[in-house]
């Protein structure tokens, strides 16, 4: 489905084109002339513009030149009478994609529109990928502040140039394994194609094969339509299997076959499909021990462990903590329209913290700090007091249970009240401070007799 704007001074032409395209599932809007169209285009983005070449007030040629100033790559197809084909061809030299002639041939119109829409969507995907790569490349530069990560990324760059080699990324949760996987993809010959990520731990056991390999219509009760799996969707690109240690034992055999034979079948199908993908796996588990305990297939382990890369935890690359913190603060303050900076005391606290959740924990901590700072120009030690309990070890080591015991219910009530006071009665922020959902916070507030209304 595409958003299309049809611009023509003849109502009959607009009507015919709109019906043709809407029957194919597209959303079509109309404009009577170039001036009306330009006003619409300046406030809304379309997947395709279909412009009549000759119109009163502002003709298609003039409108096209205005459109090119908005976006030089804006997809445009011209409508022209047979005698004006030369003008349409001239417009194609100036950036239009194609033209259709009057009287209309429905098959040609639909074929042209489908081709241009697919091209437009592909260009949008590529632009999004370029922006994502640029942002992540900037972050990878920051991560490389430490010598440990410099070595890791140098190794990643070497394997990136070998587009068929399977890679296994290991490391604690939150260390940035997916970032390294994307870095490998972005610097490989496969970078023009998709990077597809799948968290193996998040797949329902009865859907794992369908997610990986797809299914045919009717292959099981809820299979009401054919589905393309991740192996097929990532064709030509990279498939990132996160938390591969959680992959079901039965599904491991099929993944092994897809890797070794470079083919697979959809669930309920018997037609071999070529698996032209590079597979990058990641885990925070000890797969070698799982193999010894018969929890992970030995043959699959050796097949995915062709090129292992270990991502060191954040506590082993402390020189990256402050640059990364500042990067995330800049990101969140841009979103929240604030300007806080880290004080020296706050930086010392960040360096003392053990970061058991690694970069993921750091991201969450900086978001929380920016929220708490509000309009304050500084993020201080006080702002980061939620980290103070864990500066030398797990939080449990810092808490001693009173000899007389404790009332857990009363402690929870106090925490809810404190969070609400700290957040100036903002329930969303209070819930975030306690690390729970807003709905759960409202239930706890109701249990202590608090007002549920905003």
Each residue's pLDDT tens digit, 285-341? 999 999 999 999 999 999 999 999 999 999 998 888 998 899 889 888 877 777 789
pLDDT single digits (tens) 164-185? 999 999 999 999 899 899 999 9
Looking at the predicted structure, is the pLDDT value of residue 221 above 80? Answer: no
Tokens of 11: 């109502």
The pair phi, psi for residue 244, each rounded to 5°, is: -65, -20
pLDDT at 396: 38
Residue 246 has what pLDDT? Answer: 94
Q: What is the pLDDT of residue 405?
A: 66
User: Which strands make up the sheet holding 278-283, listed edge to edge?
Assistant: 195-199, 238-242, 278-283, 167-170, 307-310
Dump pLDDT digits (tens) for 362-408: 999 999 999 988 888 899 998 998 886 554 444 434 455 566 666 77
Lowest mean pLDDT, pick from 19-33, 76-90, 97-111: 76-90
Buried b (16+ CB within 10 A) or exposed e, 335-369: eeebebebbeebbebbeebebbbbbebbbebbbbb
CATH 3.40.50.2300 given to domain 3-122: yes
In this prediction, residue 82 carries a pLDDT of 58
pLDDT tens sequence across 22-40: 998 889 999 999 999 999 9
**114-123, 238-247, 279-288, 432-441, range with the lowest pLDDT:** 114-123
Q: Which CATH entry fits the domain spanning 144-312: 3.30.1280.10, 3.40.50.300, 3.20.20.10, 3.20.20.370?
A: 3.40.50.300
Mean of pLDDT over the chain:
84
Domain boundaries, the chain: 3-122, 144-312, 315-398, 408-447
CATH number assigned to the domain with residue range 315-398, chosen from the 4 options 3.10.20.600, 3.40.50.12780, 1.10.8.60, 3.40.50.10860: 1.10.8.60
Q: What is the pLDDT of residue 122?
A: 66
**What CATH number has the domain spanning 408-447?**
1.10.10
Percentage of the chain lying above the pLDDT 70 cut: 86
The predicted model gives 244-256 an average pLDDT of 92
- Determine the pLDDT at residue 395: 41
Q: How far apart, in whole angstroms, are the C-alpha atoms of residue 33 and residue 45?
A: 18
**The pLDDT of residue 393:** 43
Is the CA virtual torsion 160, 165, 166, 171 positive or negative? Answer: negative
- CA pair distance 163, 187, nearest whole angstrom: 10
Q: Is the predicted pLDDT of residue 162 greater than 90, yes or no?
A: yes
The pLDDT of residue 343 is above 70: yes
Residue 254: which region, alpha, beta or left (left: phi > 0; alpha: psi -120 to 50)?
Answer: alpha
Predicted pLDDT of residue 282: 97
What is the pLDDT, as a whole number, of residue 123? 64
Quote the tokens at residue 189: 């010959």
Tell me what pLDDT residue 279 has. 97
Same topology between domain 144-312 and domain 408-447: no
Q: Which of 137-141, 240-244, 311-315 has the lowest mean pLDDT?
A: 137-141
103 preceded by a cis bond (ω within 30 of 0): yes
pLDDT at 142: 52
Q: What is the pLDDT of residue 367?
A: 92
pLDDT exceeds cutoff 90 at 4:
yes
Lowest-confidence region among 148-162, 393-407, 411-425: 393-407
- Distance, in Å, from the CA atom of 212 to the CA atom of 222, rounded to the nearest integer, reads 17
Least confident residue range of 107-116, 164-173, 255-264, 307-316? 107-116
pLDDT of 129 reads 55
């Amino acid at each position: 489905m595409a958003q299309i704007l049809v611009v023509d001074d003849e109502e009959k032409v607009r009507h015919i084109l709109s019906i043709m395209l809407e029957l194919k599932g597209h959303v079509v809007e109309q404009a009577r002339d170039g001036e009306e169209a330009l006003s619409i285009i300046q406030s809304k983005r379309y997947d395709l513009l279909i412009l009549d070449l000759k119109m009163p007030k502002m003709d298609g040629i003039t409108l096209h030149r205005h459109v090119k100033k908005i976006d030089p790559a804006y997809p445009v197809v011209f409508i022209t009478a047979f005698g004006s084909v030369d003008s349409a061809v001239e417009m194609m030299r100036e950036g239009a994609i194609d033209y259709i002639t009057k009287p209309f041939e429905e098959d040609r119109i639909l074929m042209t529109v489908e081709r241009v829409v697919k091209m437009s969507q592909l260009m949008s995907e590529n632009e999004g990928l370029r922006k994502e790569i640029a942002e992540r490349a900037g972050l990878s530069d920051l991560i490389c502040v430490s010598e440990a990560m410099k070595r890791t990324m140098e190794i990643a760059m070497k394997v990136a140039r070998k587009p068929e080699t399977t890679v296994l990324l290991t490391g604690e949760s939150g260390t940035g394994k997916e970032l390294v996987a994307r870095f490998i993809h972005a610097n490989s010959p496969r970078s023009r194609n998709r990077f597809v990520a799948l968290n193996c731990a998040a797949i329902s056991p009865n859907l794992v094969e369908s997610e990986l390999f797809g299914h045919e219509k009717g292959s099981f009760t809820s299979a009401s339509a054919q589905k393309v799996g991740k192996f097929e969707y990532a064709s030509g690109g990279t498939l990132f299997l996160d938390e591969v240690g959680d992959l079901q034992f039965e599904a491991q055999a099929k993944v092994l076959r897809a890797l070794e034979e470079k083919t697979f079948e959809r669930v309920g199908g018997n037609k071999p499909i070529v698996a032209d993908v590079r597979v990058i796996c990641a885990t925070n588990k000890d797969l070698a021990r799982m193999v010894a305990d018969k929890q992970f297939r030995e043959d699959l382990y050796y097949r995915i462990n062709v090129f292992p890369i270990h991502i060191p935890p954040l506590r082993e690359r402390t020189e990256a903590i402050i640059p990364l913190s500042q990067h995330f603060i800049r990101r969140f303050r841009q979103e929240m329209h604030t300007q806080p900076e880290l004080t020296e005391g706050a930086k010392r606290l960040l360096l003392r913290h053990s970061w058991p959740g690694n970069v993921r924990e750091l991201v969450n901590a900086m978001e929380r700090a920016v929220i708490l700072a509000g309009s304050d120009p500084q993020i201080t030690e006080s702002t980061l007091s939620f980290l103070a309990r864990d500066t030398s070890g797990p939080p449990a080591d810092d808490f001693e249970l009173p000899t007389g015991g404790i009332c857990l219910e009363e402690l929870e009530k106090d925490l809810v009240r404190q969070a609400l006071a700290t957040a100036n009665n903002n329930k969303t922020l209070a819930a975030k401070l306690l690390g729970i959902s807003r709905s759960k916070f409202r239930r706890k507030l109701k249990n202590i007799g608090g007002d549920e209304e905003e």
